[in-house]
Each structure stands twice: as C-alpha cells, then as structure tokens.
Amino acid sequence: MRTTQVTDGVFRLSANVDNILFEGMWPIPNGIAMNSYVVKGEKAAIIDGVCTWEGVPEELFEQLDQMKVKLEDIDYVIINHMEPDHSGWLEPFSALRGDENFEILCTQRAVPLLESFYGITKNIRPVKSGDTLDLGDGRVLAFEEIPNVHWPETMATYDTKSKTLFPCDAFGSFGAVSDDAPYDDQLDEGQIDFFEREASRYFADIVAAFSMPTKKAIDKVESLPVDIIAPGHGIVWRKNPQKIVDDYKRYASYSKGPAKPEVTVIWGSMYGNTEQGVQPVVEGLESEGVKVHVHEVPETDAGFVLQSVWESSGVVLGMPTYEYKMFPAMAAVVDEIGKKKAFNRKAFSFGSYGWSGGAQKELQEIVERNKMKWDFLEPLEFMGKPTEDEKELLKQRGKELAVKVKEWCNA
C-alpha cells in the first residue's frame, strides 16, 4: 500500500482485499480496492477510511507521513457512508490519535449509526446538501446528500478547488488496483475494459437495487463541474470521468430496460432432463443472431448471474420441479434478481417434472412478489425428458424470444 497524489493537495490511500466474499456473499475473484483520500488546505481532512476484513491496515497510518500529514494534524474526518468497509477504521483511528481534537462530518442520518456501530457521540458535525467546510488555502469542501447510494445516510463530498468528487460507493468497481497505476490516465484500453467489467458486476451486485437513487445522484453530479472522480472502490478517473458517469447511467437504465440486445439463459437440473431443453432454446435464440449467455446454477454464483441478467434484455429460465416447487437454486437466484429490480425483461421458462409440476407456479409467485413485470412467452413444462416435438417447440420459443428482444431494443 502506497500513497499517491491524485492532484495538488489531494492524496489517495488504498488497500486491496481478496479472499473474502464481499458483503459476506459476493465472490470477488479479482479483489477490490478500498480507497481513502486526504485533502489538504491549511487544515487536513480524511475522507472515508481504508478498512479491510482483517481490520485496518497498520500502514494506513504510516502512509500519512508520505503526505506530510501527521495523524494528529487531521482536523476533520468525513464519513460519506457508514457501511463498515468505509467507516470501520474510525475506532482504531480514534485509539491511535488518543485525543478528541478532530471533528466527524456526516449526514444527520449517520449520527445514530455512529453511536450504534462505534459508540461515538461526540465531536460530530452533521451536514446537509449545500453545506461547506473551509480547509483554508482556498480549499472548500462541499457536501451533497445522495441518499440510498448505497445506504440512506450516504453523501458525496466535492472539493471545489480541484473539482474532485468523492462519491464513495457511486462510480465504484470491483477489481484490485495497482498502486503503480491507480488512475485512468495510466491505464491502457484493455485495463479500462477490465474495470468496466468489474464496475458492471459491482453495480449489479451492490448498487442495482438503488438504480433510481443512483440516477438522481448522477443528475446532481452532472450539475457540478467535475474534473476528477475519486470513488471509494476502484480506479480514480482523472482523464475521462465522464466515462464512468456514462457507464453508471447506462447500468441504472438497465433496471427498467431495455438493456443490451442479449439473452441470459439460467438453468438448473438434478438428473439432466431440464438440461436437455437448454441447447434447443439456445439454438433458437442464436438463429436470430442475438448474443446468449448460459449459466448453470448453483454452479455459477448468483453474483455473476446477476451481472449477466442486468445487462440482458431477455432471460430464459430452465428449472425442474422439486418437492412441488421450483428447483431451490433457481428459485433463490430468480428471487435475488427480483430484489435487485431487474424489471420488464422479455422472458421464457421451461422445465421438467415427474408427476405434479409446481416449478412454474412458484415462478409466478416470485415474479409477482417482486413486482418484476416480466413479459413471458407461454411456458413449456414437460414430463421427464423432452420429446423431439418439445425440443422443436423450445427452439421455436427461443427464436420468438430473440425477436421480441430485438424489437424492444430497437424500439
């Protein structure tokens, strides 16, 4: 972990984390960067904190030397967001400081969380949209509440001098970041593409359910002259901050759809009968030239399935009946997709049963409960393995779905 300078008077501190499930459930095979920033005027402020799952890296405090900032010189601690990946360092910071000569700035909604998470009740200055903090030397920080990106208490901080936005979870991504090249201007096209893929999965897994608040936050951001975007996770955007803003706008719009003219096929099967229906549907879809992504569950983790569904305008669900209900791994993933608010998809479902069926009924319940408003073709449930006629029908449905997806995307 090494400090780097974002711009004059603004420094980045970061630690990469891997070998964990993010938020206790999302795989991060490429890791994630936890970013913190120090902003210096005559006074110094630290924005968010670096906190890994093992706790606060000792070096965080040693790195302050590189910025010529002493721990005791930090006058303000700015908590944009109370989720422990950003606020978890508050206790060690307070302990190492050993004094209370610093103020914590956060929104009013963060105040009760400060007490319940860390027992902190003193030296708190609640701020609201439009409030500012003068650090001296011409450096004024402005605050903007961006509720529900990602928790209700979240705000963004903006340095009016360098026109740097610190939006915390917004505009963030998965993916470990090298201390040698944490800025978009140091990365080649392939590396930027990597972070786009990681941002897309981060959005689907972490931010998707808050797509509407994210849109509102983006509108606020776009009213500011922003030269640099310095998020709580991922790379810092100095050359082309508009790129990550546009990507986030696109991801947020996928909630209502249409997304890309692509189809995600998710299937699970106990003994291979439902599985025999997958290939015919894929053939039908591909005969219309749409790109198809196929995921078997539970083999593929929901974190990856979500990214795929988020980016697709069409979804196919293949699931057998299990104890009068839907194959549990499929039920879990479809429910999660609903909770993440992937609305309005063009969809088709099929699956095998032995005597009663029931998968289809549970699917309807999940779709209604989550108000998903998916537009389904007539489902196909078959007994045991699919007959040749049923396979032909599955292919036909795939083709029909592809046509509907293309129409929606071209409308």
Ligand X SMILES: Cc1cc2nc3c(=O)[nH]c(=O)nc-3n(C[C@H](O)[C@H](O)[C@H](O)COP(=O)(O)O)c2cc1C
Binding site for Fe ion (CB under 5 A): 83, 85, 150, 169, 232
Considering only residues 212 to 271 of the shown chain, the ones binding ligand X according to CB under 6 A are 269-271
* Distance from C-alpha of 371 to C-alpha of 337, rounded to nearest angstrom: 11
One of 355, 371, 378, 410 touching ligand X (CB under 6 A): 355
User: Does residue 166 interact with ligand X by CB under 6 A?
Assistant: no
Site track for ligand X across 367-386, x = CB under 6 A: -----------------x--
Q: Which is nearer to Fe ion, 116 or 387 (CB)?
A: 116
DSSP conformational letter for 385: S
Write out the DSSP string of 253-322: HTTTS--EEEEEEEE--SSSTGGGGHHHHHHHHHHTT-EEEEEETTTS-HHHHHHHHHHEEEEEEE--EE
Q: Which is nearer to ligand X, 70 or 271 (CB)?
A: 271
Asked if residues 81 and 117 have their Cβ atoms less than 8 Å apart, the reply is no
User: Does residue 352 interact with ligand X by CB under 6 A?
Assistant: yes
Neighbouring residues of 33: CB distance < 8 A, sequence distance ≥ 6: 14, 15, 16, 17, 175, 176, 177, 182, 233, 234, 235
User: Does residue 22 interact with ligand X by CB under 6 A?
Assistant: no
Q: Which two tokens stand for residue 303?
A: 């974190």
Considering only residues 305 to 334 of the shown chain, the ones binding ligand X according to CB under 6 A are 320-324
Q: Which is nearer to ligand X, 27 or 328 (CB)?
A: 328
| Residue whose C-alpha is closest to residue 4's, from 17, 14, 18 | 14
Q: Which two tokens stand for residue 200?
A: 């897309």
Q: Quick one: what does residue 58 bind among Fe ion, ligand X, none, with the CB cut-off 5 to 8 Å set by partner type?
A: none
* Total residue count of the chain as it appears in this document: 411
Find the shortest distance in angstroms from Cβ 126 to Fe ion.
Answer: 20
Find the shortest distance in angstroms from Cβ 293 to ligand X.
Answer: 20
Instruction: Mark the segment that binds ligand X (CB under 6 A) among 87-95, 127-135, 157-165, 348-356.
Output: 348-356
User: Does residue 99 interact with ligand X by CB under 6 A?
Assistant: no
One of 274, 307, 308, 360 touching ligand X (CB under 6 A): 274
Asked if residues 232 and 34 have their Cβ atoms less than 8 Å apart, the reply is yes
Task: Give φ, ψ of 270 to 5 degrees.
Answer: -85, -45
Find the shortest distance in angstroms from Cβ 321 to ligand X.
Answer: 4
* Contacts with ligand X, residue ranges (CB under 6 A): 269-275, 320-324, 352-358, 384
